[in-house]
Amino acid sequence: MKIYHNPRCSKSRQTLALIEEAGIQPEVIKYLDNIPSKEELLDLLMKLNLKPADILRKGEKAYKEIIKGKTFGKEELIQIMIENPKLIERPIVVKGNKAVLGRPPENVLKLL
Protein backbone atom coordinates (compact mmCIF):
# COMPACT_ATOMS: atom_id res chain seq x y z
CA MET A 1 0.00 0.00 0.00
CA LYS A 2 1.18 3.52 -0.84
CA ILE A 3 0.00 6.91 0.31
CA TYR A 4 0.77 10.12 -1.56
CA HIS A 5 1.04 12.24 1.54
CA ASN A 6 1.50 15.82 2.67
CA PRO A 7 2.35 15.80 6.39
CA ARG A 8 1.11 19.39 6.71
CA CYS A 9 -2.42 18.37 5.65
CA SER A 10 -4.80 17.23 8.40
CA LYS A 11 -6.81 14.97 6.05
CA SER A 12 -3.60 13.34 4.87
CA ARG A 13 -2.47 12.75 8.47
CA GLN A 14 -5.90 11.34 9.41
CA THR A 15 -5.85 8.98 6.43
CA LEU A 16 -2.36 7.76 7.29
CA ALA A 17 -3.47 7.19 10.90
CA LEU A 18 -6.41 5.04 9.74
CA ILE A 19 -4.07 2.89 7.66
CA GLU A 20 -1.60 2.50 10.52
CA GLU A 21 -4.42 1.70 12.99
CA ALA A 22 -5.30 -1.19 10.66
CA GLY A 23 -1.79 -2.54 11.26
CA ILE A 24 -0.45 -1.55 7.85
CA GLN A 25 2.78 0.36 7.33
CA PRO A 26 2.30 1.93 3.91
CA GLU A 27 4.99 3.31 1.66
CA VAL A 28 4.73 7.05 2.33
CA ILE A 29 5.42 9.22 -0.69
CA LYS A 30 5.77 12.90 0.17
CA TYR A 31 4.61 14.00 -3.24
CA LEU A 32 5.64 17.64 -2.82
CA ASP A 33 9.25 16.46 -2.43
CA ASN A 34 8.97 13.45 -4.75
CA ILE A 35 6.80 14.86 -7.54
CA PRO A 36 4.98 12.13 -9.49
CA SER A 37 5.97 11.74 -13.12
CA LYS A 38 3.52 11.97 -15.99
CA GLU A 39 3.38 8.16 -16.09
CA GLU A 40 2.72 7.96 -12.35
CA LEU A 41 -0.09 10.52 -12.57
CA LEU A 42 -1.67 8.68 -15.49
CA ASP A 43 -1.45 5.42 -13.52
CA LEU A 44 -2.99 7.05 -10.43
CA LEU A 45 -5.82 8.51 -12.49
CA MET A 46 -6.53 5.11 -14.04
CA LYS A 47 -6.59 3.45 -10.58
CA LEU A 48 -8.80 6.24 -9.21
CA ASN A 49 -11.03 6.10 -12.31
CA LEU A 50 -10.88 9.90 -12.44
CA LYS A 51 -9.87 12.64 -14.86
CA PRO A 52 -7.07 15.14 -14.15
CA ALA A 53 -9.60 17.89 -13.38
CA ASP A 54 -11.12 15.63 -10.69
CA ILE A 55 -7.94 15.68 -8.57
CA LEU A 56 -7.19 19.39 -8.76
CA ARG A 57 -7.22 21.44 -5.57
CA LYS A 58 -9.44 24.28 -6.69
CA GLY A 59 -8.78 26.38 -3.59
CA GLU A 60 -5.07 26.70 -4.28
CA LYS A 61 -3.63 30.02 -5.41
CA ALA A 62 -1.98 28.28 -8.39
CA TYR A 63 -5.38 26.97 -9.53
CA LYS A 64 -6.86 30.45 -9.52
CA GLU A 65 -3.85 31.93 -11.31
CA ILE A 66 -3.20 29.22 -13.90
CA ILE A 67 -6.34 27.17 -14.50
CA LYS A 68 -9.55 28.89 -13.41
CA GLY A 69 -11.68 30.03 -16.32
CA LYS A 70 -9.49 28.33 -18.93
CA THR A 71 -9.79 25.08 -20.83
CA PHE A 72 -6.96 22.55 -20.82
CA GLY A 73 -6.61 19.05 -22.22
CA LYS A 74 -5.66 16.02 -20.15
CA GLU A 75 -1.95 16.21 -21.05
CA GLU A 76 -1.80 19.93 -20.30
CA LEU A 77 -3.41 19.50 -16.88
CA ILE A 78 -1.01 16.71 -16.00
CA GLN A 79 1.94 18.91 -16.95
CA ILE A 80 0.54 21.75 -14.83
CA MET A 81 0.23 19.35 -11.87
CA ILE A 82 3.84 18.22 -12.30
CA GLU A 83 4.99 21.84 -12.36
CA ASN A 84 2.69 22.76 -9.43
CA PRO A 85 2.31 19.62 -7.27
CA LYS A 86 0.35 21.53 -4.60
CA LEU A 87 -2.53 21.34 -7.09
CA ILE A 88 -2.76 17.55 -6.68
CA GLU A 89 -5.53 16.54 -4.29
CA ARG A 90 -4.31 14.65 -1.28
CA PRO A 91 -3.95 12.12 0.03
CA ILE A 92 -4.13 9.42 -2.62
CA VAL A 93 -3.92 5.85 -1.33
CA VAL A 94 -3.02 2.98 -3.65
CA LYS A 95 -3.40 -0.74 -3.10
CA GLY A 96 -2.68 -2.94 -6.06
CA ASN A 97 -4.69 -1.75 -9.05
CA LYS A 98 -7.10 0.38 -6.99
CA ALA A 99 -6.76 3.82 -5.45
CA VAL A 100 -8.91 6.23 -3.45
CA LEU A 101 -8.75 9.87 -2.48
CA GLY A 102 -8.56 10.26 1.29
CA ARG A 103 -11.27 12.91 1.32
CA PRO A 104 -12.90 12.07 3.56
CA PRO A 105 -10.21 9.95 5.26
CA GLU A 106 -12.73 7.11 5.70
CA ASN A 107 -12.55 6.48 1.94
CA VAL A 108 -9.38 4.53 2.67
CA LEU A 109 -11.43 1.89 4.48
CA LYS A 110 -12.50 0.63 1.03
CA LEU A 111 -8.91 -0.55 0.51
CA LEU A 112 -8.29 -2.06 3.95
* CA distance linking residue 109 with residue 112, whole number of Å: 5
Give ∠ CA 66-104-110 in degrees, rounded to 5: 120
* CA distance linking residue 94 with residue 44, whole number of Å: 8
Instruction: Give the SS3 label for residue 109.
Output: helix
Q: Is 9 a catalytic residue?
A: yes
Catalytic residue among 9, 24, 50, 62: 9
Which residues carry out catalysis? 9
